[in-house]
Structure 1
């Protein structure tokens, strides 16, 4: 493999000796098909989904908002700023070299150690896959009830049908994602603007009372919402390399940061607002069921439900299918297409209906906080490794060798991850930031003072000079 001065991969040999599927090899410039406009629409499509709307609905518990409108948006802006910064920092290695996240992990955790850390990304994505499909299936069921006049009513069947459809669509890889997202982002935004108008004109009094003018809190609930917000994106920006490796080369770090900040701000701002408004107006945390009450017109309900289905497919295509598929491909040596099918089948078995009940979405919020306790430490370790310890100089060839410098596992990374996660669980409402800070400090200290002869120190600032 050869690279130019900017670090973009120009030529890649197929690595039959490693047993890796071709989809895990570094992306060449020729293989990068996503331009900046498509990339921006991809993240808008990812953001305008029912999961994020449910996050907004989680602010209303038993008819009482935990944050008022000002507190909600201040928390959102803080979270989006952090998300965009971490995204732009962590996507750089994948963007410059074309490697996926599961290979990036080897830099810090090692070939065997990366198995554990890659599962920490793959498992939450599969649960989210199932959750988004369940929400989409609920909407598809609403459409079916309208068409059949109530004769058909089975969310389970709709859930399975939608999941099978997504499995087939995802077999086409990132090419399908690009077009699905471009269509979904435009259409769904128009639909949500309409719903926003309906809520504003017909339910403004109750929304003002229960959310806008709520007392709220600038204390733990405020910071917990920021952490939940971060946790909602923690898995996505952790595997930033899986997306940036598809983006055409020549885009500066600042512009890539804006390609994250702008769409997330637009998409999240609208979906969070509508989610909180729906929960305030109806007392129901499931947005699909709340829509059916607010929009009491079968034709409009059918129209909106169709966009909810499209939104569920859109977010799954970006965030919840490719990353776990790469994990399964790496761990089982499966080809890409069989791994996509396995990912979809696992999503069917994730019991997503447990996370959100009609009265509360607290189950979803707690799930986010728990898994982010592990993902915060992992992203911290990767950033410390790349920027502080290795000064952005990484031997990509070495990361693809099963018996090279990164063979086995790096005990420093695994111990730091466990220390960070343990600290995070002491106050789960602030899990992400606690995990990031504690794991980062622990990793630097462990790399400096322990395991003196570790091969993982080669090329770092702690390499022993003889």
Structure 2
């Protein structure tokens, strides 16, 4: 029995144990309050009321938010059940080396969103300082704001949750104030927010516009739906709970209730802002409608919201991915720094109009990964995972030189379809990714590379919190550490 260091075994990526799960239902809901206040949410509302009445925009937003929230919870069970992060579990459908390719794309997208949101927040911070001290240097504000966010994230998930607990009540109160201010401005302009539409459409055009609003809400959060396990692994859940809904109760409250309420309210603010001043950006609109200390308080909400969004939705996923790529010598805090550097180097302030469409296309392509994860985790493995082998360089997830070709082929199929059917990208990408992976993996790839949890479907061996297990991974690889002797290729054929 030989021992050696293993690049798959970074302590920051080991399964989170039950006592390390610190985020409760209210804490996760507050995290969502901050995450959902982003410029893209305002844009969805502003675009929606150009074709549809506000009531229909709200209805479409609720449908889209509920749907993507459910997908998030479904994929997030990987973190709840086994304590695994997104890039670690991706070793199952993509291989121990192959996981890096889709993961890096997601990490790059998250880093870019960090840069965009930090730029948005830094302009608001610059506005506050200009009001108070006549200070005007947005780039210095950007550097300071980025540094504070990265430090907050590097301190760990508990520090992120504490900031969300502090910021969420202020965000809620200021958002209500913002809505009332914009509504009054719309009335002054002679526009009733519930009936005004810039260019009304009817018939099939109205149906298309309605579906676009649904898909816009889903597509924007599709990337987070894929890597939700990186956050959900820290969410509290009861041991020995076999009921899926009870086990994921805290996750459901955040992903379904808090996301839907906050997302819908932000879309409404963007819509009312557009109705009042023909600009969905509430910061611009409120600069027209407010001044002095009132404007400063409203700008403070933008700063707090971008901070809360970035730490949870962007920096944590990106840092986890970069730590996985770098191995044991590249800890989580180094991944945090890498996310900040990449997000800044893309210069979001000069490429703003180009970056957002590119990232939304990227999100559509990545939606196929949500389908692949669903098929691998639920349909094929039935939630049973040979977790020790996810950290074993020579284990069952090594496949062909570290690559699972079924995952890559399914990703190409789903991602390509999502790209060409952009208005329905999430649904198309998910379905084609899931269906193609299911057949390719079950009836081709896993016949070549048998999987222990498929051959011995024992819950006590391969489930996590449901059977009260905390997965323990040794930092030094022990080559004979598999639950039972390694299976030779083609030794056992799957049904």
Which residues of 2 match residues 192-231 of structure 1 at below 5 A?
Answer: 192-204=175-187, 206=189, 208=191, 212-214=195-197, 215-216=200-201, 217-231=205-219
Which residue in 2 is equivalent to 1:243? Answer: 231
- Residues 405 and 207 of structure 1, relative CA distance in 2, 3 Å threshold: farther
- 2:20 aligns to what SS in structure 1? coil
Which residue in 2 is equivalent to 1:78? Answer: 63
Which residues of 2 match residues 47-62 of structure 1 at below 5 A?
Answer: 47-59=36-48
Match for residue 89 of structure 2 among 104, 110, 115: 104
- Residues 299 and 284 of structure 1, relative CA distance in 2, 3 Å threshold: same
Q: Alpha-carbon deviation of 1:226? A: 1.6
Which residue in 1 is equivalent to 2:334? Answer: 338
Q: Alpha-carbon deviation of 1:35? A: 1.8
- Residues 331 and 41 of structure 1, relative CA distance in 2, 3 Å threshold: same
Cα distance in 2 for partners of 1:418, 1:465 equals: 25
Q: Alpha-carbon deviation of 1:211? A: 7.2
Cα distance in 2 for partners of 1:198, 1:211 equals: 16
Q: Are residues 1:284 and 2:279 paired?
A: yes
Match for residue 344 of structure 2 among 339, 342, 348: 348
Cα deviations by residue, 1:242-270 (Å, 9 ceiling, x for unpaired): 11111122152355323321111221121
Which residue in 2 is equivalent to 1:304? Answer: 298
- 2:19 aligns to what SS in structure 1? coil
Cα distance in 2 for partners of 1:452, 1:180 equals: 44
Q: Is the 8 A contact 1:45 1:182 kept in 2?
A: no
Q: Alpha-carbon deviation of 1:390? A: 1.0
Cα deviations by residue, 1:318-362 (Å, 9 ceiling, x for unpaired): 1010111011111122112222112111111233235656xxxxx
Q: Are residues 1:163 and 2:146 paired?
A: yes
Match for residue 428 of structure 2 among 415, 434, 446: 434
Cα distance in 1 for partners of 2:410, 2:454 equals: 17
- Residues 97 and 305 of structure 1, relative CA distance in 2, 3 Å threshold: same
Q: Alpha-carbon deviation of 1:130? A: 0.7
- Residues 294 and 456 of structure 1, relative CA distance in 2, 3 Å threshold: farther
Q: Are residues 1:417 and 2:411 paired?
A: yes
Q: Which runs of 5+ in 1 are unaligned?
A: 1-14, 358-362
Which residue in 1 is equivalent to 2:255? Answer: 260
Q: Are residues 1:30 and 2:19 paired?
A: yes
Match for residue 388 of structure 2 among 385, 392, 397: 397
- Residues 204 and 69 of structure 1, relative CA distance in 2, 3 Å threshold: same
Cα distance in 2 for partners of 1:456, 1:207 equals: 68
- Residues 448 and 39 of structure 1, relative CA distance in 2, 3 Å threshold: closer
- Residues 271 and 355 of structure 1, relative CA distance in 2, 3 Å threshold: farther
Which residue in 1 is equivalent to 2:463? Answer: none
Q: Alpha-carbon deviation of 1:426? A: 1.7
- Residues 287 and 457 of structure 1, relative CA distance in 2, 3 Å threshold: same
- 1:91 aligns to what SS in structure 2? helix
Which residue in 2 is equivalent to 1:464? Answer: 493
Cα deviations by residue, 1:365-415 (Å, 9 ceiling, x for unpaired): 633530122221101011011111111111111111122100111101100
Q: Alpha-carbon deviation of 1:28? A: 1.0
Cα distance in 1 for partners of 2:352, 2:293 equals: 26
Q: Are residues 1:91 and 2:76 paired?
A: yes
- Residues 168 and 140 of structure 1, relative CA distance in 2, 3 Å threshold: same
Which residue in 2 is equivalent to 1:406? Answer: 397
Which residue in 1 is equivalent to 2:288? Answer: 293
Cα distance in 2 for partners of 1:350, 1:268 equals: 27
Cα distance in 2 for partners of 1:254, 1:218 equals: 36
Q: Are residues 1:379 and 2:364 paired?
A: no
- 2:346 aligns to what SS in structure 1? coil
